[in-house]
Structure 1
Amino acid sequence: MFSLPRNLPRFSCQNVLFHRCNLRHFSSTRRASSSSESDHDAQFGVYSVILPQEPFVFGVTHIQPRQVPPSIPRPPYALQGPKRHALSKPKSRFCTSDDGKIRLGTEEEEKMRRAATLARDVREFCGGLVKVGVTTDSIDAAVHEYIVSHGAYPSPLLYQNYPKSCCTSINNVIVHGIPDDRPLEDGDIVNIDITVYLDGYHGDTSRTWLVGDVDVHGRTLVSLTNAALKAGIAACGPGKPFRGIGKAIHELVNNKKISSLAASEELDLTGMEFCVSPEFNGHGIGKEFHRQPWILHHLNDEPGIMEPGHCFTIEPAVIQGSDPHGWIFPDGWTASTENCTRSAQAEHTVLITETGVDVLTS
């Protein structure tokens, strides 16, 4: 959760107006067909595009955070409450003096595993919440109550001023969508990104859910994203290079090595094209929400070898088409694809052991 951005374009009113004018054939409801719309639908499917509400509201200070019982321990960044500034998003990659590894066979590992297990349980709890007509804010409320009822803190809450307890990213939103009062529509896809802070450790996971009757393009996108996550995990183990994760995901997505995927789910991939967002990455996790190692999901030449005790997230965001670029809404958080094609994301927290890799949130 909260993949850190890499050179993501900042928001401007001119940017939004440009996108709005060039996306006039989209609307928040199903639309009548025209030539250009039919071409788009044939390539990407039919779905509602998420755009910032007008008039624009900058930042998130107008959103009231949910309350956490004082008995629940908070991560350091949440101890001072919300900070009053206009825009809020991660400003830098955190770096600490220690190596960030989990000491295997210790209480530290047990706490890490418990946090990850709770995150998994919350993620699966979300599956029962995703229905046509349900608002993402009501999902956030249910997630918040589930987490605090288990004695944990919802890690996103007040992280760099983020105002909610989870992220809900719909259709063209790549990551960091802020839950609101928009009801989920038949045909939406929605990623729910969960992180919990339990006994001093963060556990992090996400999944993209289908809402009602999703078209073949959307179902293929979600299935491919899940396969990309599995490919990235399969590239992990002691002594293996971190760059192998991005290579494995690239080979699956860009070289379309998905015939078995198509066969197993009866998906027609003719004419479909996909790419991986290079603007968001996985991250080390444990006592800190984000830290090294940084996990890139695209082809890269980053140095580094996985060692026992390394604990990190893998969270590829796969995008329809060949344009991986994104842009930021005026809230300072919500990241949409630049051309408003759909995106899906899946995420696990993994731990490198002496003999292989454990998926802590499976």
Structure 2
Amino acid sequence: MTVTIKNEHDIAKMRIACRLASEVLDYITPFVKPGITTNELDKLCHEYMLNKQYAIPAPLNYQPSGYPPYPKATCISVNDVICHGIPSDKKLKNNDILNIDITVVKDGYFGDTSRMFIVNPGSILGKRLVQVTYECMWLGIERVQPGAYLGDIGYAIQRHAEAHGYSVVREYCGHGIGNVFHEEPQILHYGHPGTGIQLQPGMIFTIEPMINAGRREIRTMPDRWTVKTRDHSLSAQWEHTVLVTKTGYEVLTVSANTPQPSQSLYD
């Protein structure tokens, strides 16, 4: 496994790209209402990236080996969609939960983040799942420091999710990122302390747990992108891009309205 250690130039560029990605989520927040379609949300995000940020959306036409080109600027995953939900003309309705996943490319560097949204008023089940998933992400982030192991991150996330009766999706994980969209290391959201590679200053990667209200098994739709829970239970995900510093970590995907660590989202 070859992990790229970022230099100060890389880190400075990543701070910009990651802030821009987070600012797209700030921008789109007031538009998440009953009756809007995920296509309309995607279009708004796309235009904001192009016209306000002079950035480009990384997902559009992204084509890993074995996949068709991804057709939209964002991934928007609603209710039982775990990840890679393709925006459509389906309208949001009351109590829907959705993840909006944004990756922008600015000056050749990738900023990657996602947040959960709940369409008012929201169900108790949906709010609880979204809150616990948020806590899972932050518990993983708080394990990041030089000398820690990747398994420490996954263990913290898995323990918290399962303590609340939820399950962790295992087929998808966080990833290294920089001037490449997906690179080593892979960040599993389950595992055992003291296992995996040790963290070093200059590593940059995403932590993005996908937590299901029911069982962890998945099913992939015929479009080969959309991934849903096999048992039709709700799924939630939060994502930050994190830098390993000499003394701990720095969350790069931060903007004016980013929810704060340890925040109770629905008080």
| TM over 0.5, shorter chain | yes
The residue number in structure 1 matching 2:249 is 357
The residue number in structure 2 matching 1:194 is 102
Give the counterpart letter for 1:296 in structure 2. L
Establish whether residue 278 from structure 1 lines up as the match of residue 170 from structure 2.
Answer: yes
Q: Per-residue displacement from partner, 1:110-159 (whole Å, max 9, x unpaired)? A: 11100001011011212112100000000000000011121111000111
Give the unaligned 5+ runs of structure 2.
64-68, 255-267
Over the matched positions of the two proteins, sequence identity in percent amounts to: 43
- The separation in 2 between residues aligned to 1:280 and 1:355, in whole angstroms, is 28
The residue number in structure 2 matching 1:232 is 140
Establish whether residue 316 from structure 1 lines up as the match of residue 218 from structure 2.
Answer: no
- Give the number of the structure whose residues are more often strand, by fraction: 2
Q: Per-residue displacement from partner, 1:172-228 (whole Å, max 9, x unpaired)? A: 000000000000011100100000000110000001100011110010000001100
Alpha-carbon shift at residue 99 of structure 1 (Å): 3.3
Alpha-carbon shift at residue 299 of structure 1 (Å): 2.0
The residue number in structure 2 matching 1:120 is 22
Contact 2:38 2:87 in 1 (8 A): yes
Establish whether residue 99 from structure 1 lines up as the match of residue 7 from structure 2.
Answer: no
Give the counterpart letter for 1:121 in structure 2. E
Q: Per-residue displacement from partner, 1:233-275 (whole Å, max 9, x unpaired)? A: 011111100110111011211123xxxxxxxxxxxxxxxx211
Query: After the TM superposition, which residues 274-313 of structure 1 pair with which residues of structure 2 at under 5 Å, given as runs?
Result: 274-300=166-192, 302-313=195-206
Query: After the TM superposition, which residues 146-295 of structure 1 pair with which residues of structure 2 at under 5 Å, given as runs?
Result: 146-149=48-51, 150-160=53-63, 161-256=69-164, 273-295=165-187
Match of 1:137 among 36, 39, 46: 39
Contact 2:21 2:253 in 1 (8 A): yes
SS at match of 1:159: coil
- The separation in 1 between residues aligned to 2:209 and 2:3, in whole angstroms, is 24
- The separation in 2 between residues aligned to 1:350 and 1:217, in whole angstroms, is 29
Q: Per-residue displacement from partner, 1:33-91 (whole Å, max 9, x unpaired)? A: xxxxxxxxxxxxxxxxxxxxxxxxxxxxxxxxxxxxxxxxxxxxxxxxxxxxxxxxxxx
- The separation in 2 between residues aligned to 1:124 and 1:361, in whole angstroms, is 11
Match of 2:234 among 342, 345, 353: 342
- The separation in 2 between residues aligned to 1:224 and 1:255, in whole angstroms, is 10
Alpha-carbon shift at residue 335 of structure 1 (Å): 0.2
- The separation in 2 between residues aligned to 1:344 and 1:281, in whole angstroms, is 14
The residue number in structure 2 matching 1:56 is none
- The separation in 1 between residues aligned to 2:123 and 2:196, in whole angstroms, is 40
Pairwise CA RMSD: 1.2
Alpha-carbon shift at residue 108 of structure 1 (Å): 1.9
Contact 2:3 2:185 in 1 (8 A): no
Contact 2:57 2:105 in 1 (8 A): yes
- The separation in 2 between residues aligned to 1:303 and 1:230, in whole angstroms, is 20
Alpha-carbon shift at residue 355 of structure 1 (Å): 1.1
SS at match of 2:202: coil
Give the counterpart letter for 2:86 in structure 1. I
TM-score (norm 2): 0.90
- The separation in 2 between residues aligned to 1:276 and 1:125, in whole angstroms, is 29
- The separation in 1 between residues aligned to 2:17 and 2:122, in whole angstroms, is 32
- The separation in 2 between residues aligned to 1:237 and 1:129, in whole angstroms, is 37
Give the counterpart letter for 2:185 in structure 1. P
Contact 2:10 2:178 in 1 (8 A): no
- The separation in 2 between residues aligned to 1:187 and 1:162, in whole angstroms, is 27
- The separation in 2 between residues aligned to 1:175 and 1:212, in whole angstroms, is 22
Give the counterpart letter for 2:5 in structure 1. K
